């Protein structure tokens, strides 16, 4: 009965998601449901996302919280004064040895603690002359690492700190406990690197305000899944929680509460630093000219709407006909550029409703003066081109939603176009990359859409490069994002709705194209989900069952 019910739901999903990669799969293969009794062991243990190359041998070593150390190699260029790694060493020591940190399950290959020799330490070597200890991660950051586990000393090598952070997460996932609570690890060799450079999570903090604690928790979980971009959709129509120093009235009038539901400069700085310590970029999004109803704190910024010849008392998108609009935006984005250190700002540009512009006689006159006729897409393009020039003048690159490209706006060659519309997704990827633009994919990974059952499998099956295009075009797809829009999400349900569903996206963007076995993925993800729960992330269960730590007293 469960299997028939699941298939029915999946058929309904196919009707709702016509552009999904799943729609091309035979329906019998769409869902993997484990039989019971369920054996959860995978040859790769609980590794998630699966490394590019991993060999786990039967030989087993013990780790003792009293003697084991994570240390810098004497040959490492980061062995002195690299606070980002010093903090990471402490953090991962806790993850490994906390009383609630690991599973009682046997290891991926087997063996036990009796008679096992002790692994004394993990020795970390950074090889680059500049280890990037005091820098922020970027789109070009090198996350390659190698792990060799053999007694008495295991080694972790990477070019810079970003690779070390990814390697520490992998090392921690290799440690397990036997029935006597002995910490064990198998002899292992790993060479690993991400398939895509941009692996993002989008959070919406406008529709519901998210406390800093929830954002920090999400950043932790992102590091457990090797995501490296926090796309912060910080403001939108419902509220403006970003507290601008230059224009404080934006949050004073636009936030749900001008004191309790805002992000101050100190808050933003803490989020950026917390993310940096986990190898995560913070890319803010200030979406205009639409999605700006909360920008009412700036006088004469929004377009007054008319009902016939009279003002209706409502407002539409940002008014593109006034010079004061661009004076404001220049000052505002100058502040944002200084506040957020990443090389990119997301400028939105999606879903602009033209009705208010059409009703406004001043806008109509401006359209005639500019020779736009009645084509309001030209007016939108005029506005966006101005904004792009402003951001460029402030030495920032920009990301935009696909409508900016679709509407023919003249954009810089290094613009990142985010494809979000599920229908005709493959055709859109072909068009954007054929035009030579760097692209990220969000369309199949809108996690705010939920269903009954294991929809993580739908996200897992997506192949980002499954579109018509040359090899050169496909190189322009630099990754993707799992998006959790906030209409029905706040602090009470964010983590359980996001994880482990987003974990499926994480493996798709990190691991090789050959990593597609759903049965093996289920076995690893079930353990990984339990590990996230043990680390304080209330990730929802994949299916029926239990986590081993539930039996720990």
Q: Which residues form the catalytic set?
A: 351
Residue 44: exposed, middle, or buried by beta-carbon count in 10 A (0-12, 13-18, 19+)? buried
Say whether 527 sits in a helix, a strand or coil.
Answer: helix
Long-range (24+ apart) CB contacts under 8 A made by 455-458 are 455/13, 455/501, 456/500, 456/501, 456/503, 456/504, 456/525, 456/542, 457/30, 457/31, 457/32, 457/504, 457/518, 458/13, 458/17, 458/20, 458/22, 458/30
Q: Please name which of 123, 129, 168, 173 lies closest in space to residue 145, comparing C-alpha atoms.
A: 168
Find residue 477's DSSP bridge partners. 439
Q: What are phi and psi of 177, to 5 degrees?
A: -120, 145
Q: Which of 509, 435, 511, 508 lies closest to 473 in space, CA to CA?
A: 435
Q: What's the CA gap between 541 and 530, in Å, rounded? A: 8
From residue 370, how far is each of 202, 305, 321, 374, 390 by CA, in Å? 37, 21, 10, 11, 20
| Residue 56: strand pairing partners | 188
Q: Is the peptide bond before 463 cis (omega within 30 degrees of 0)?
A: no
What tokens does 245 get? 């120093």
Helices (H), 138-277: 161-174, 212-224, 249-254, 265-276
| Cα–Cα distance measured from residue 321 to residue 319, given in angstroms and rounded to the nearest whole number | 6
- Residue 282 bridge partners (DSSP): 230
Question: How do beta strands 198-204 and 477-484 pair?
Answer: parallel
Sign, Cα dihedral of 286, 292, 296, 301: positive
Using alpha carbons only, what angle is made at residue 163 by residues 416 and 89, rounded to the nearest 5 degrees?
130
State the Cα–Cα distance between residues 511 and 52, nearest whole angstrom. 6
Cα angle 354, 358, 359 (rounded to 5 degrees) comes to 120
C-alpha distances in Å from residue 480, one per residue of 76, 77, 201, 202, 445: 33, 32, 9, 10, 9
Decide: residue 241, CB within 10 A, 0-12 exposed, 13-18 middle, 19+ buried. Answer: buried
Assess contact for 302 and 293: CB atoms under 8 A: yes
The size of the chain, in residues, is 553
């Amino acid at each position: 009965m469960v299997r028939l019910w699941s298939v029915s739901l999946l058929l309904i999903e196919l009707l709702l998601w016509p552009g999904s990669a799943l729609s091309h799969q035979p329906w019998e293969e769409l869902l993997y449901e484990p039989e019971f009794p369920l054996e959860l062991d995978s040859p790769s243990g609980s590794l998630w996302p699966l490394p590019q190359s991993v060999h786990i041998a039967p030989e087993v070593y013990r780790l003792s919280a009293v003697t084991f150390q994570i240390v810098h190699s004497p040959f490492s260029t980061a062995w002195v004064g690299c606070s980002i790694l010093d903090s990471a060493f402490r953090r991962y020591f806790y993850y490994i040895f906390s009383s609630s940190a690991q599973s009682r399950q046997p290891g991926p290959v087997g063996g036990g603690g009796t008679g096992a020799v002790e692994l004394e330490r993990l020795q970390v070597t950074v090889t680059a002359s500049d280890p990037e200890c005091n820098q922020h991660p970027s789109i070009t950051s090198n996350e390659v690492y190698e792990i060799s586990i053999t007694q008495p000393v295991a080694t972790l090598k990477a070019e810079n700190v970003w690779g070390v952070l990814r390697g520490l997460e992998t090392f921690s996932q290799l440690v397990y406990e036997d029935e006597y609570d002995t910490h064990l690890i198998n002899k292992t060799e790993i060479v690993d690197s991400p398939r895509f450079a941009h692996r993002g999570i989008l959070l919406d903090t406008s529709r519901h305000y998210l406390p800093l604690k929830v954002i920090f928790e999400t950043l932790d979980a992102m590091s457990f899944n090797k995501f490296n971009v926090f796309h912060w959709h910080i403001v939108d129509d419902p509220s403006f929680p970003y507290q601008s120093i230059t224009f404080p009235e934006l949050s004073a009038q636009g936030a749900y509460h001008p004191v309790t539901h805002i992000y101050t400069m100190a808050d933003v700085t803490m989020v950026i630093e917390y993310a940096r310590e986990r190898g995560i970029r913070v890319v803010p999004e200030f979406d205009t000219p639409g999605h700006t109803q909360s920008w009412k704190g700036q006088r004469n910024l929004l377009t007054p709407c008319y009902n016939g010849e009279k003002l209706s008392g409502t407002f539409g998108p940002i008014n593109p006909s006034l010079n004061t609009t661009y004076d404001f935006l220049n000052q505002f984005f100058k502040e944002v550029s200084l506040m957020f250190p990443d090389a990119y700002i997301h400028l939105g540009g999606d879903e602009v409703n033209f009705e208010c512009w059409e009703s406004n006689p001043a806008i109509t006159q401006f359209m005639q003066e500019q020779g736009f006729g009645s084509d309001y897409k030209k007016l939108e393009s005029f506005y966006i081109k101005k904004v792009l020039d402003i951001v460029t003048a402030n030495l920032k690159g920009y990301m935009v939603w696909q409508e900016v490209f679709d509407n023919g706006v003249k954009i810089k060659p290094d613009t990142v176009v985010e494809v979000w519309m599920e229908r005709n997704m493959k055709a859109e990827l072909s068009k954007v990359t054929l035009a030579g633009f760097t692209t990220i994919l969000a369309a199949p990974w809108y996690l705010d859409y939920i269903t009954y059952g294991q929809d993580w499998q739908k996200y897992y099956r997506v192949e980002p490069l499954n579109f018509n295009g040359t090899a050169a075009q496909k190189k322009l797809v630099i990754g993707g994002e799992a998006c959790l829009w906030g209409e029905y999400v706040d602090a009470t349900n964010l983590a359980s709705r996001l994880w482990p569903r987003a974990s499926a996206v994480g493996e798709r963007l990190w691991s090789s194209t050959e990593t597609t076995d759903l049965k093996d993925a289920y076995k690893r993800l079930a353990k990984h989900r339990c590990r996230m729960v043990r680390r304080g992330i209330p990730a929802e269960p994949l299916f029926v069952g239990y986590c081993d730590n539930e039996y720990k007293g």
